[in-house]
Chains A and B, each alone.
Chain A
Amino acid sequence: MGSLAVELFGKTLKNPVMNASGTLGYGVEIEPLWAVETMGAYVTKGLSAAPHHGNPTPRVWEERCGMLNSIGLQNVGVERFFSHYFPFFVERRCPVVVNFFGFSEEEYLSCAKTIEPHDLIVALEMNLSCPNIKKGGISFGKEASAVHAIVRSVREVTKIPLIAKLTPEVKNLVEIARAAYEGGADGLTLINTIPAAVVDVKDRRVSLKGGLSGPLLKPIALRAVHECSQAVPIPIIGVGGITNAEDALAFLMAGARAVQVGCATFVDPFAMPKIIAGLDSWLDASGLAGISAIVGAAHG
């Protein structure tokens, strides 16, 4: 029997499958169906220094092969997460990736500083798609220099491994990936949702502007993972439209050390346990010693 375990920032995860931030609530909501520690790690909902109320509805809209969301980063705040929800993951011995965001450098720093190292915290995952309010609302993740600067600042205030989650809506993603790496990122998550809109033809107006996710993102994300994983020497976590074990394998072969599953869970709440079981069967049939052996198999 081969092992699904993967090494990430010096920690061993029992498999390479996590949820994408914001698609598994605070983790406790899935408990009636399956245990959170089924996953290699749980990725938190995006947390901020202060609680955020989020956007009015509509917040979600369906597309033919995916969905748009504009939740507006509603969250209870980083302190409440650690006092109220984190003990649940400790009790379950479930590794946690802490996703966080800010609307200014100060907010990123104040959030990152709040989080104490813990043997179950695998990494902090910085959401770089947020608008920088002090720079006219342009997203932190759009310019290599801005990515370099914010990653470097956060790097200085925490000892926890740092992942930069990048937006694909840039001129040159490889350049952005390099900037994050040079700024001190220990890993990258690729990719965030893609800005999109839906128009209601009957009402002649935009129904929703938000981030597009779902199966139609997969080839875009695969290309990002394939190119960036060959450009920077740090682990990549692949995310975008993963629905089944074959999708997950494609990401690993493209160069991802681990994968995240997002809105597939909304379509099938057992998508992640099924993907993990599917990877296990594939590994058995392959005769490989471990799933890590196929990471980057599609390079070159």
Chain B
Amino acid sequence: MDDIPGKITWNDCVTGSYRRLSVRLERSLGRVSPGQFVMVKIPDRDVFLRRPFSIYDSRGRTLTIVYRVVGKGTDALSAAARGTPLMVLGPLGRGFTPGKATTPIVVAGGIGYAGVRMLLKRLDHRATLFFGATGKDELRLAEDLGATRVLASTMDGSFGFAGDVVSLLGHHLDDYRDKKPEVFACGPSGMVRSLKALLEPGRIPCQVSVEERMACGMGLCFGCVVATADETNPYKRVCKEGPVFSLWDLSL
């Protein structure tokens, strides 16, 4: 973990409100495990706290994130021009830990794709991505996956399966019955809840990346907790003990 100065080299629209940002850092982030994140100091005086972003890609001294403009912080970030200096703290948190002898199923909803993209790259063609989007345009996010098998759903039915991504996965779950499936997920809380309902009967192993409002990003403030089934100490820090948790440890 390090706090590294960098300069924006790319900050452009991917599709709709999704943007890709690349930063040339003074030093490399070092070893990154898929699912880890960074805290970015937004170059705007009105944005007090840093913002957490999944590491989309980290190669040498170039860090890439993909983000959706949803509020004050991301709005300000979207206005930052190439060459703008910013600070990046990371890599942070505990990422995904895929088993060696399992068949990986990756489930992403919308911007959740940014949270699993490094994992997909790491797993190469071994994984299948179930990608849930609102519409066809959002699928452009996952255009860079190469040989990885992608099954898509859209809520508006404009491409692939019409409906939500967990229902789509439900139609395919039987195919994995004797293949030791292991699920890796990142997406909105509704998606995670229905995923839990789907996987509950077989208690299929599932690691999920959780999102929460953060202040420090490194375990200092206890601001970003998630409720777990641990009765003696239910609230775990998303930034420190997470952001990836076993779905079966979470109390949803």
Contacts and interface: CB of A to CB of B under 8 A. Distances in A.
Interface of A: 22-25, 29-30, 32-33, 45, 51, 53-54, 56-67, 69, 71, 74, 76, 214, 263, 265-270
Nearest to B48: A62
Contacts of A67: 48-49, 215
B32 interface: no
Given A51-B233, A54-B235, A265 B216 contact: yes
A24 B3 CA distance: 16
Contact of B3 (A29, A33, A76): A33
A202 to B, nearest CB: 10
B1 A60 contact: no
A269 B48 contact: no
A268 B73 CA distance: 16
B41 interface: yes
B48 A29 contact: no
Interface string B222-235: 11111100001111
B3 A267 contact: no
Chain A binding surface SS class: loop
Contact of B220 (A25, A58, A65, A214): A25
Contacts of B149: none
Given A29-B240, A51-B233, A67-B215, A267 B48 contact: yes
A63 B89 contact: no
A214 B48 contact: yes
B3 A269 contact: yes
Nearest to A66: B48
B211 to A, nearest CB: 11
Nearest to B46: A64
Nearest to A31: B1
A64 B233 CA distance: 33
30 contacts: A23-B220, A23-B221, A25-B219, A25-B220, A30-B218, A51-B233, A53-B234, A54-B225, A57-B224, A59-B222, A59-B225, A60-B49, A62-B48, A62-B49, A63-B48, A65-B48, A66-B48, A67-B48, A67-B49, A69-B221, A74-B222, A74-B225, A263-B215, A265-B220, A266-B50, A266-B216, A267-B41, A267-B48, A268-B3, A268-B41
B233 to A, nearest CB: 7
A56 to B, nearest CB: 7
Contacts of A71: 221-223
**Most chain A beta carbons < 10 A, residue from B214, B218, B219, B232:** B218
Contacts of A59: 213, 222-225
Contacts of A63: 48
A265 B49 CA distance: 10
B219 A53 contact: no
Contacts of B41: 267-268
B192 to A, nearest CB: 15
